[in-house]
Structure 1
Amino acid sequence: MQATSLVYYFLLVSLCIDFSRNETSALLRRQRRRMRYRGLRRSSSAGHRSPRQPRMKLPAPVAVVPSIPLINIDDSVMGVFDSLIGLGGHESSYSVLPGKKGQCTANGMIMYDKAVWSPKPCITCLCSKGEVICDTTMCHPLKCPQTIIPAGECCPVCSDTASSLDSSIISLDDVTELSGDSPEPNDVDNTNILSSARTQTEKEELLRTEVVEFKEKEGHKKDEKKRKRKGKKNRRKYKAYHREKKPITRKEAAEEEIRYEDDGTFRMPSHFPIPVPPIEAHPLPSGCSTSDTTISCINAKLTQIPPISDRDITSLDLTGNSITTISDEAFNGMPNLEWIDLSKNNITSPGIGPQAFKILKKLKRLYLDGNMLVHIPSELPSSLEEIKINDNHLHAIDEDGLQDLKNLVTLELEGNKLSEANVSPLAFYPLKSLSYLRLGRNKFRIIPQGLPATLEELYLENNQIEEVSEICFNHTRNINVIVLKHNKLEEHRIAPLAWINQENLESIDLSYNKLYHVPSYLPKSLLHLILIGNQIERIPGYVFGHMKPGLEYLYLSFNKLTDDGIDPVSFFGAYHSLRELFLDHNELKSVPFGIDEMRKLRFLRLNNNKIRTVPPERICRTRVNDDDVHESSEEENEESRLEHVHLENNYINTRQLSPHAFSCIRSYCSVVLKPQIIK
């Protein structure tokens, strides 16, 4: 009978051991699934992570004594402790989700329930339901006058025996200083009571507790919740039993309590440092720098776009390198780019992958100036608002070259080989938002056809344009600025209906063309007319008479104007509006008539002509011999706004000038008379 009882007893022990192993394995799997689905991401775990734990060996259930014993731990915590040993025995970080109850404090640091930390070498503490429980490894007493702790070891050794060990050693007296969360001195002594080797009585007591749990599970499989409650109750009794026999280290949370907002949100104490997740350094080549959301690699001698992976980057500057190709995957690591500058490289059209820019759904500005492109890259994102491809080798734009760019506002294609022969009349049709177009330094002989209706500014300088036909601007009713300087225009090649009916056209630049007189049929709305550097000899009468509200800026410098070329009515229509008048570098021998009528004129340039005298009435309206009229004239002159007059480099004898010649000018220092040419 006794032999039978022993057999049953050993069978029961074996079943208990197997059950404990299976339970621990199942708990480990459940714990890993729970940690994965609870979304312990880097951002959340950085704010709620317990300190990193030292490497430790975990006990097999019941049979093996752990090297760092842990008591008062239920089976769920054991699963978490088991997760500390990763694959291949590597150490893994330990973290738990925050809760509202059961936290502990240690030197002001908040530790959540089930959190584990190491305040001192070879001492491990556990937060269990608001109580701090610490264990340490027992060391054999030494009989030597001085002891030291070798680096990486838990127990002290005599200083003589340690001489052959690593020279980096720590004295027992220095342990407290190096430990950030060391317990009170008496607590350290109390922790030594918890020995690494439990007595046989404790093992049997733990075994009996596990057997009771095993029997309850076998007898009540359908009542799983009840079994768990009983098991936890037994473990609490076991914990209380040890608390009576052996004192356990506790630390009062006296520095600051954990506070919660009304909605239950956890608020970290003010003195507790909130950990910030480390920022990964960009693998940037030498010569590159980063600032906020911008990466700059200007003149960094790059031959390809660096493989950068950072979704926060919005600006990339690669100006002045030796990049020749852009692969389809070049920007995959920076999908949120808004601005790319690839100017002054050696990029060719065959070197750009067809899908290179397609991934960049937020790209707004693309600069490709100073490369070797022969056509506009394909598959550009529709989000683009500005494109610059100046100083390349573009020789054609077909009707699909700018497709899907409905948000494009600015397009610059200067310094290429474009002409009316290789630019399709439908090329600009998809550009429903284009307002700024630069086509200077190309080979156009006429104004390009098919300009967008939304166009406001057109720049065609340094081409070979010879005429402006009456249909050029039929659809561009919003155009405001036209620049046609450095072309081959003559006044009779500008059609009478080319722009006279434009209601928003305010500025025309026809400098450095082949004009012989100021063009007629100018737009009604014109405010700025720039005619510098032509061969203009004459300003026809009433040429500005139809303009409303009236011309404000007229620049006729570097022409061939003579006294006979300016009629008394040449400025008719501009007397009440003209603010700046430039007539310098011409062949005038006297101050033109009509300037004294320009009541809003601020700036007058007559320098570098052949003027010999300045009559009193030509610039400022005065009468010297009639006192009454003179007084009334002074009142009128007070209303004059003339601020600057340039008359240098003429043939004026300044000593013979009338004192009333510049009486309407507020400050005499604004009249420039020197130097003069002396013959």
Structure 2
Amino acid sequence: MFHCIPLWRCNRHVEMIDKRHCSLVYVPDEIYRYARSLEELLLDANQLRDLPKPLFQLLKLRKLTLSDNEILRIPAEIGNFMELMELDLSRNDIQDIPESISYCKALQVADFSGNPLMRLPESFTLLKNLTCLSINDVSLQALPEDIGRLSNLVSLELRENILAMLPESLSQLHKLEELDLGNNELCSLPESIGCLISLRDLWLDGNHLTEIPAELCNIKTLLYLDVSENKLEFLPEQLGGLVSLTDLLVSQNNLEYIPESVGKLRKLSILKADQNRIAYLPESIGNCESLTELVLTENQIQILPASIGNLKKLSNLNCDRNKLTMLPKQIGGCRGLNVFCVRDNNLKRIPAELSQASELHVLDVSGNRLSYLPMSLTTLHLKALWLSENQSKPLLTFQPDEDPESGEKVLTCVLLPQQPSESGSDNLARFGGLESLVNGMADEVWDGKDMNRISSIHFMDEGEEDDDDEKGTLLRRATPHPGELKTMKKTAESVRNALDSNKNEVNNAADGVTTSV
């Protein structure tokens, strides 16, 4: 015979309660009835301002999340949570962490990000079991001098604070794998940072570093290094010691060169060195056999090393806004190249060997001084070829021509030869972008030979009569820019509407005369 269990005794053993996004302004009283069994309490994204004392009688809690609320203070009773393993108080209005936090001996994961904290309590370093600590964007001015006592830390996030220096004891965190110090006020790093023997990911971007200690290059486990947006003038010659490195980000610094030892980084997959003052790449770059992405935008590079053709896995190569005058023919050796951008350089020709990069889909050569393109490019399956920043389509129609100097077959179109730009961008204006070509205008720095070559496409000057038989060549007018076509269409429609209106008035008048008769 079955007996009915009273309703008040149902669900007595509850281990997890999820009250996230419930617009709560206070902690529901119903939670406290499960004090003997409750292990996880999720109260994120509500409107809580105070934490009531009964909450800290939930002694079995192992996980408590209170992120995205309006909590002003943490009561000292938080020390009651002797079994608490995960605590999330991120994005509240908490100004202080009580010293009693040290009694949470089991705490492993803690997140205090996005609070107006300025310091950590001295007792914080007694949390010996802590493995992951996030204190991002809290106006933290300094770390505890004895932070090295947190010997089990695996991940330490301190992004977007106002840290100006790091304590020496940081080097004692031998289990640390992730260290994020991005967007702080660091001007230097202690040499002891090289003692972080387990470090895999290191963010130092957005600081004021002028140099990186050579000792950092002793970390054989390091996979990811971001030192972008600093004031670095050089990288240590010992850079090649980072034998496991896969990602190196040095963008927006004052670097003038990449050290030769970069060639020892055989596992390097991504190198971003844009917005520096780099004048050349070392020949050893060709030894970085795993490189898939190389970004060199906005530097002072005049020539790429021939060894770049050894980068068989290179997929994305961006050299926009440099001072390249030529490309090595070995560039065709980059068989895996998908995207190749050399916008706004001083290139006068593209090597025919580029066609050997059979995977190339996007080629941007706008803003250069090209007179033609090599015929071999027709063998590529390009999806986009940019000759001008004002192109309306990613691909244009080309036709064969002949280079008057070499006699070789080349490709030409309405946008070739390119006009050099005075402002760092293409000289083809949005409206009337082809006017300079139509009128045969040339820049003074160009050789007359380049502009006087015989093209199989001839553009008519204003007032010139059609005379196909005399010229014996294809004769066509410049194609209007899409913006001009829209204007022409509107004008035509206006004229047509006006004519239709006049026609209707005439017909109405005629009907009126007929009716009166």
TM-score by shorter chain over 0.5: yes
Per-residue deviation, 1:358: 2.2
Give the fraction of aligned pairs with identical amino acids, expressed as a percent.
Answer: 25
SS where residue 191 of structure 2 aligns? coil
Per-residue deviation, 1:530: 1.1
CA distance in 2, matches of 1:662, 1:384: 60
TM (normalized to structure 2)? Answer: 0.62
SS where residue 566 of structure 1 aligns? coil
1:364 partner letter: Q
CA distance in 1, matches of 2:288, 2:131: 34
Q: Is the 8 A contact 1:303 1:321 kept in 2?
A: no
SS where residue 554 of structure 1 aligns? strand
Per-residue deviation, 1:300: 0.8
1:347 partner letter: I
Match of 2:42 in 1: 295
Match of 1:436 in 2: 178
Offset from partner CA, 1:33-68 (integer Å, 9 cap, x none): xxxxxxxxxxxxxxxxxxxxxxxxxxxxxxxxxxxx
CA distance in 2, matches of 1:384, 1:548: 38
Residues 539/401 of structure 1: CA separation in 2 closer, same or farther (3 Å cut): closer
Q: Is the 8 A contact 1:327 1:356 kept in 2?
A: no
The correspondence for 1:445, drawn from 184, 187, 192, is 187
Residues 660/295 of structure 1: CA separation in 2 closer, same or farther (3 Å cut): same
Unmatched runs of 5 consecutive residues or more in structure 1 = 1-107, 111-271, 622-639
Offset from partner CA, 1:571-603 (integer Å, 9 cap, x none): 26x434433211123344555542112223233
Q: Is the 8 A contact 2:303 2:327 kept in 1?
A: no
Per-residue deviation, 1:414: 1.8
1:413 partner letter: L
Q: Is the 8 A contact 1:305 1:326 kept in 2?
A: no
CA distance in 2, matches of 1:302, 1:648: 58
Q: Is the 8 A contact 1:365 1:386 kept in 2?
A: yes
Per-residue deviation, 1:512: 0.2
Match of 2:416 in 1: none
Q: Does 1:538 align with 2:280?
A: yes
SS where residue 453 of structure 1 aligns? coil
| Aligned residue runs from structure 1 range 33-432, under 5 A | 108-109=1-2, 277-279=9-11, 286=25, 293-304=40-51, 307-308=54-55, 309-310=57-58, 313-330=61-78, 332=80, 335-348=82-95, 351-359=96-104, 361=106, 363-377=107-121, 378-379=123-124, 380-403=126-149, 405-420=150-165, 423-429=166-172, 431-432=173-174
CA distance in 2, matches of 1:662, 1:533: 33
Match of 1:458 in 2: 202
The correspondence for 1:650, drawn from 355, 362, 367, is 367
CA distance in 2, matches of 1:448, 1:643: 45
CA distance in 1, matches of 2:77, 2:176: 29
Offset from partner CA, 1:183-226 (integer Å, 9 cap, x none): xxxxxxxxxxxxxxxxxxxxxxxxxxxxxxxxxxxxxxxxxxxx
Q: Is the 8 A contact 1:463 1:486 kept in 2?
A: yes
SS where residue 240 of structure 2 aligns? coil
Match of 2:336 in 1: 600
CA distance in 1, matches of 2:178, 2:108: 15
- Greater CA drift, 595-604 or 548-557: 548-557
CA distance in 2, matches of 1:439, 1:302: 30
SS where residue 340 of structure 1 aligns? strand
Q: Is the 8 A contact 2:64 2:87 kept in 1?
A: yes
SS where residue 356 of structure 1 aligns? helix
Residues 293/645 of structure 1: CA separation in 2 closer, same or farther (3 Å cut): same
Q: Is the 8 A contact 1:553 1:580 kept in 2?
A: yes
Unmatched runs of 5 consecutive residues or more in structure 2 = 32-37, 392-425, 429-435, 437-517
Match of 1:619 in 2: 354
The correspondence for 1:480, drawn from 192, 216, 223, is 223
Residues 440/323 of structure 1: CA separation in 2 closer, same or farther (3 Å cut): same
The correspondence for 1:578, drawn from 308, 314, 325, is 314
TM (normalized to structure 1)? Answer: 0.49
Q: Is the 8 A contact 1:288 1:300 kept in 2?
A: no
Higher helix share: 2
CA distance in 2, matches of 1:277, 1:432: 50
Per-residue deviation, 1:529: 1.6
| Aligned residue runs from structure 1 range 466-615, under 5 A | 466-474=210-218, 476-491=219-234, 494-497=235-238, 499-522=239-262, 524-525=264-265, 526-540=268-282, 542-545=283-286, 547=287, 549-561=289-301, 565-569=302-306, 571=308, 574-588=310-324, 591-611=327-347, 613-615=349-351
Per-residue deviation, 1:442: 1.8
Q: Does 1:660 align with 2:400?
A: no
Q: Is the 8 A contact 1:398 1:427 kept in 2?
A: no
Match of 2:405 in 1: none
Residues 647/352 of structure 1: CA separation in 2 closer, same or farther (3 Å cut): closer
1:298 partner letter: A
SS where residue 216 of structure 2 aligns? coil
Offset from partner CA, 1:401-430 (integer Å, 9 cap, x none): 341x3332110112223233xx3212341x
Q: Is the 8 A contact 1:591 1:618 kept in 2?
A: no
2:135 partner letter: I
SS where residue 329 of structure 1 aligns? helix
Per-residue deviation, 1:515: 1.5
Per-residue deviation, 1:466: 0.8
CA distance in 2, matches of 1:339, 1:394: 22
Q: Is the 8 A contact 1:501 1:523 kept in 2?
A: no
Q: Is the 8 A contact 1:568 1:593 kept in 2?
A: no
1:599 partner letter: R
Per-residue deviation, 1:393: 2.9
1:579 partner letter: S
Per-residue deviation, 1:339: 2.6
